[in-house]
Structure 1
Amino acid sequence: MAHLFSRGSWPEARRIAEVLRAETVGGVLLLAAAVLALVWANTPWSDAYFDLAGWVVGPHALHLDLSLATWAADGLLAIFFFVAGLELKREFVAGDLRDPRRAALPVAAAVGGMAVPAVIFAVVASRDGGGALSGWAVPTATDIAFALAVLAVISTHLPAAMRTFLLTLAVVDDLLAITVIAIFYSSSLHFVPLVLALVAVAVFGLLVQRGVSRWWLLMPLAVVAWALVHASGIHATVAGVLLAFTVPVRDKNGGAHGMAERFEHLWRPVSAGVAVPVFAFFAAGVSISAAGGLGAGLTDAVTMGVIAGLVAGKAIGITGSTWLVQRFTRAQLAAGLSWWDVLGLALLGGIGFTVSLLIGELAYGAGSQRDGFAKIGVLAGSLLAALLATVVLRIRNRHYRRLCEEESVDADADGVPDVYQVPKPG
């Protein structure tokens, strides 16, 4: 009988563990950057913060004279989505998720975890007029770095299979989010730059498929593709995903250690350690007084919709989708796990930050009052989701510790835990 949250292969578990360590460090930097921005934006020196975020740099002739905040959102986050695209392609081409039965659960959970929060936001925010509804996608994203930072802080021994599920769900979530941004939050489309952008992406893809990895060839092509996507009216971060999907996963011998793995190792530290924290610094700064005070900010329809979507929507969407997969596939939860564990993971999925803040700016306009309300909602909702997840997961932590001890037993000292080895017949 099939089991949900069952262990994958040892190579995949080891690779996921390395990814999670990098994202955890990035999550701590993200939290530090967000706290610094929030504190600075509410001090007597807040004007200096907003002046810095609005400082315009770049060539005017190429229409790239953008503020630092816009460079962070459009430029640095393209690196973030490039890494997410590489991760997603590797998972479905060479990872455990190439098996449709294993892929069904995180994909279904990601879809449910986006659809239900959007509906809840629309219901809550509808009382504030049609303009508020444009932010329907704000509470749909899960921030894996933030969630892993919370796991590190509360020191929970979450089983490897559930950590893998959380990472995969967040990566699929990112792909769905960039699709939503491309379709619903792009400006008027300019056909010529779009065609030229696709040509640049195609040339980039032709080179990497032929094994070319010289940075002085690929970097200029990637920058040109990004600039053309930006000029086309589609949000520039889409370029990151398009470029990532052209990178081969397998090497010339058909192995899983292709160029995608090398690029991911190269760019993940840049994404987690630089791109996301810098964006968080420029995006998280919201003046509480400008929003009418904390009371007014928390009671606004946009704020309440985002909080309800992140906390209740994610919990219902992820848990409900998991139950539906279990119901229609007649699978069972893996040994040692219960639905309380699924709920704790779903609450952790309610920590939305990077992509949520980006969508809020695109929906309402950076610096607008409703954008401020959306930021307050993202910060408050993520904090509440983190606290509730902490309560559920800490209650179960003694049980998780026992499971982790069982998973780490290596009786034959061959470097591979015994639970990942298939006993030979006889």
Structure 2
Amino acid sequence: MLGRRNRQNRTFLGRLPLPERTFVVDALRTETVGGTVLLVAAAVAMVWANTPWRDAYQSVRDFHFGIDALGLDLSVAHWTADGLLAIFFFVAGAELKRELVVGELRHPGTAALPVIAAVCGMAVPALVYGVVSTSLGGTWNGWAVPMATDIAFALGVLAVIATHLPAALRAFLLTLAVVDDLGAVVVIALFYTSTINLPALIAAVLGLGLFFHLHDRRRVHGWYWYLPLALVIWGLTYTSGVHPTVAGVAMGLLLRVGHDGERGRRPAEHIAHLVRPVSAGVAVPLFALFAAGVVVTGDTLRTMVSAPEPLGVALGLAVGKVLGVFGGSYLAVRFTRARLSRELAWADVLAVAMLAGIGFTVSLLIGDLAYPDPADREHIKAGILLGSLTSALLASLLLRLRNNKYRRLYEQENRDENADNIPDIYQHR
């Protein structure tokens, strides 16, 4: 048994254990629907911003509301970036906590490969941006913009091109995105926090302590306890000067993963299952609607392909991500005892690496933080869109070429001739 486990752990992109596969399929089903909605929202934003009704788009995006006395009188775009995306990062934190405790990342040997690929997939795009930007006379300001992978957008692309990507490749893409999200939060907290309101930060940390005490120690149930507390923690984090998405991922990481004795389920999985539709279907698409509305003009296009920073962002996503994820995966397999699954080829890893270059949501968020000037911000958004669309088109081409192979693997993975809701492949040696 131990020998069999060791051999399985050395297989890169091998068959997932049944519980892990069930969780991944459930999570990605919701993210795929949300990704389709995200694509529609991004398209609506682009069209709306380039029609005679563009003034209405800008008026809605810049409309302010909130509680001025608490410093929360924000624009609609600001609310979606700082408020709704906290829900997205909460789900990412819950998924990461689950992977670290009971998922594939709990075994160092199994975790090493996707983590190495993800880290290289963050470092290389930043280096590509830096080399391109500085060689053309630009700055390092946007080095973090091309680091992130947008799992919802990538799955939306998979839904549109109707590919049957095997569960192992989808899980690899999900792991890359989750690690990227954690990296993005660390970058935001360390590099995009200019001033700190220490009393508010201490109060936010105490709020997180109360959240942990109620959830993990006292086992208190009921959303009516946690939703008001989460809003207070979010508000205190915002007031402290730390980006409030950090509060979202912190609360996700505090969720309990062990089985609930009374209800027989893992709270982190259950809560993520309940919140994920709100994140994928509402929060992220609304953010995209008010963040992706770039006015496309001749000047915008010229700047996008000639100015150092936008070009660095586009190449960081379209080239840096591929080099980082694929190169990190290959080197990790080359210099460890791991072996690529016999059912897949390195072309499949290359296709996933191309999908990872779709950095839409989190890249837009970091772009807003890195470039406060509206004109610079619009050019950076254009670079993000160019890099993400290029990655999506190249990945779609390669995936379609491999789709017959994927279809056979998909049918094999999902065959259930005895109709017991357990794929037959898990019931035979």
TM-score by length of 2: 0.94
> Equivalents in 1 of 2:249, 2:54: separation in Å?
35
SS in 1 for 2:415: coil
Q: Which residues in structure 2 correspond to 1:65-80 (within 5 Å)?
A: 65-80=73-88
In the alignment, is the contact (CA less than 8 A) between 1:307 and 1:378 conserved in 2? yes
Residue 127 of structure 1 deviates from its aligned partner by 4.1
> Equivalents in 2 of 1:334, 1:94: separation in Å?
22
> Equivalents in 2 of 1:265, 1:403: separation in Å?
26
- Pair 1:124-2:132 in alignment: yes
In the alignment, is the contact (CA less than 8 A) between 2:303 and 2:379 conserved in 1? no
In the alignment, is the contact (CA less than 8 A) between 1:249 and 1:256 conserved in 2? no
Question: Which residue is equivalent to 2:394?
Answer: 388
> Residue 305 of structure 1: which of 303, 306, 312 is its match?
312
Residue 267 of structure 1 deviates from its aligned partner by 0.8
Residue 296 of structure 1 deviates from its aligned partner by 2.9
> Equivalents in 2 of 1:32, 1:124: separation in Å?
32
Question: Which residue is equivalent to 1:319?
Answer: 326
SS in 2 for 1:212: coil
In the alignment, is the contact (CA less than 8 A) between 2:173 and 2:356 conserved in 1? yes
Q: Which residues in structure 2 correspond to 1:9-408 (within 5 Å)?
A: 9-127=17-135, 129=137, 132-209=139-216, 210-253=218-261, 257-289=265-297, 292-365=299-372, 368-408=374-414
In the alignment, is the contact (CA less than 8 A) between 1:87 and 1:264 conserved in 2? yes
> Equivalents in 2 of 1:327, 1:191: separation in Å?
47
Residue 324 of structure 1 deviates from its aligned partner by 1.5
> Equivalents in 2 of 1:169, 1:422: separation in Å?
30
User: In the alignment, residue 48 of structure 1 is paired with which amino acid?
Assistant: A
User: In the alignment, residue 356 of structure 2 is paired with which amino acid?
Assistant: G
Q: How many residues are paired up?
A: 420
User: In the alignment, residue 343 of structure 2 is paired with which amino acid?
Assistant: G
In the alignment, is the contact (CA less than 8 A) between 1:250 and 1:256 conserved in 2? no
In the alignment, is the contact (CA less than 8 A) between 2:300 and 2:382 conserved in 1? no
Q: Percent identity?
A: 54
Deviations 1:209-252 (A, max 9, x none): 12212222211111111111111111011000111111101124
Residue 82 of structure 1 deviates from its aligned partner by 0.3
> Equivalents in 2 of 1:371, 1:169: separation in Å?
26
In the alignment, is the contact (CA less than 8 A) between 1:288 and 1:297 conserved in 2? no
SS in 1 for 2:309: helix
TM-score by length of 1: 0.95
The verdict on how the C-alpha distance between 1:169 and 1:254 changes in structure 2, with shifts beyond 3 A counting, is farther
In the alignment, is the contact (CA less than 8 A) between 1:298 and 1:376 conserved in 2? no
Residue 409 of structure 1 deviates from its aligned partner by 3.3
> Equivalents in 1 of 2:13, 2:274: separation in Å?
30
SS in 1 for 2:146: helix
Residue 206 of structure 1 deviates from its aligned partner by 0.6
> Equivalents in 2 of 1:408, 1:49: separation in Å?
45
> Equivalents in 2 of 1:400, 1:327: separation in Å?
25
SS in 2 for 1:335: coil
> Equivalents in 1 of 2:26, 2:255: separation in Å?
21
> Equivalents in 2 of 1:401, 1:258: separation in Å?
32
Residue 293 of structure 1 deviates from its aligned partner by 3.5
Deviations 1:368-419 (A, max 9, x none): 2221111111111111101111111111111111222222334555432232
User: In the alignment, residue 24 of structure 2 is paired with which amino acid?
Assistant: I
Deviations 1:330-356 (A, max 9, x none): 221101211111101100100110000
Report the aligned-residue RMSD.
1.7
Consecutive unaligned residues in structure 2, runs of 5 or more: 1-6
Residue 302 of structure 1 deviates from its aligned partner by 1.5
**Which stretch shifts more, 65-74 or 39-48?**
39-48
Residue 315 of structure 1 deviates from its aligned partner by 0.6
Deviations 1:101-125 (A, max 9, x none): 2211211111010000000001111
Deviations 1:123-143 (A, max 9, x none): 11114556x421111111100
Consecutive unaligned residues in structure 1, runs of 5 or more: none
Deviations 1:287-337 (A, max 9, x none): 223x82423333221221111111110110001110121022122110121
User: In the alignment, residue 46 of structure 1 is paired with which amino acid?
Assistant: R
Deviations 1:45-87 (A, max 9, x none): 2122111111111111101111111010000000000011001
In the alignment, is the contact (CA less than 8 A) between 2:300 and 2:379 conserved in 1? no
User: In the alignment, residue 306 of structure 1 is paired with which amino acid?
Assistant: V
The verdict on how the C-alpha distance between 1:177 and 1:256 changes in structure 2, with shifts beyond 3 A counting, is farther
The verdict on how the C-alpha distance between 1:169 and 1:255 changes in structure 2, with shifts beyond 3 A counting, is farther
User: In the alignment, residue 345 of structure 1 is paired with which amino acid?
Assistant: V
SS in 1 for 2:395: helix
> Equivalents in 2 of 1:256, 1:397: separation in Å?
39
